[in-house]
Amino acid sequence: MGVISPAQERGGSFAAHAAQDLAPALSIVIVTWNSERWIERCLKSIPAACEGLAYEIVLHDNSEVNAGFAAAVNLAIEAVRGPYVFLLNPDCELAPRSLTVLVEFMRTHPAVAAAAPLLADERGNSQREFQLRRFPTLLTFAAEVLALDKVWPSNRVTASYRYRDLDLTRPQVVDQPAAAALLIRREVFDEVGRLDEQFWPAWFEDVDFCRRLAAAGKEIWVVPEAHARHYGGASLEHVPFGRFIDLWYRNMFRYARKWFTAGQAETLRWILMFGMLLRLPAAALGVAHREVGRWTALKAYAGVLKKAFKRWGDSSPSS
């Protein structure tokens, strides 16, 4: 069984290791950023989730300086000792034996690079449309930017993107499960590289990583027998609305420049500007994001419009 020993400082991360006489089978990596109200519940769920496994927990705290999710995970990877690495958000609560099930699945499927539990919200409702998606295309991004997924949620583009055809009564191959809860073989990071820190501070770094796994011919599975609750909000509650909107669309455009053709990326930029123009009247009327107020929503959409026009400084992501 994993036993947490006294804390140890490692390069800005807080590492709590398994009992020293046990080589951990599993390293659980948790990145926190002002996550005090979430982390205790998360940590308390781990022992039962790891029944029969020796494990270690590596916490990286971004509270003083927010290095971003990707950079924090990459630093934590340097400290892990287990052959399996489980990325876990602090706003998740693991079900009993969930990690045991995932590790057993990986052990019996040696060709699988990563596996995810099935997430539900705090009320137990499935989060499949948040968690499981196919790789984005220009069409899927356009559907979201132009709010087609909201005015016509049954459209085929959105339905396919969000895996509404996926049978979740048994394990299935998926393109990109959210990194809120994702088990990865440690060796995979050496083979395909670590998370791309240009997707700062968060969002789309997990999509990019899964895309690189697929490009290397590696598979990711979702294992419905393993469960977790994802309460959501840990990464958003300290980010002002305007800042989030800017980061989300900036990183969407960065992803497009990295994985789409130059023409597709440029088309997306114009779609982003058009989408913001559509949102401005809705914000002025108080229809769009009433929870933040008209002025805040107007400033956010106008800011993205301006930055998209300037290509967010025209910085090109490295491959």
Q: Percentage of residues in the chain with pLDDT exceeding 90?
A: 79
CA-to-CA separations, 209 to 47, 216, 224, 230, in angstroms, rounded:
28, 11, 22, 21
pLDDT band at 235 (very low <50, low <70, confident <90, very high): low
147-184, pLDDT tens digit by residue? 998 899 999 999 999 999 999 999 999 999 999 999 99
**Domain 8-126+168-230 bears CATH identifier 1.20.1250.20:** no
pLDDT band at 219 (very low <50, low <70, confident <90, very high): very high
pTM for the structure as a whole: 0.91
Q: How far apart are CA 46 and CA 98, in angstroms?
A: 9
Q: How far apart are CA 41 and CA 53, in angstroms?
A: 20
Q: What are phi and psi of 8, to 5 degrees?
A: -140, 130
Instruction: Output DSSP code: residue 52.
Output: T
237-289, pLDDT tens digit by residue? 778 999 999 999 999 999 999 999 999 999 999 999 999 999 999 999 988 88
5-58, pLDDT tens digit by residue? 333 333 334 444 444 457 899 999 999 887 778 899 999 999 999 999 999 999
The ranges assigned to domains in the chain are 8-126+168-230, 241-312
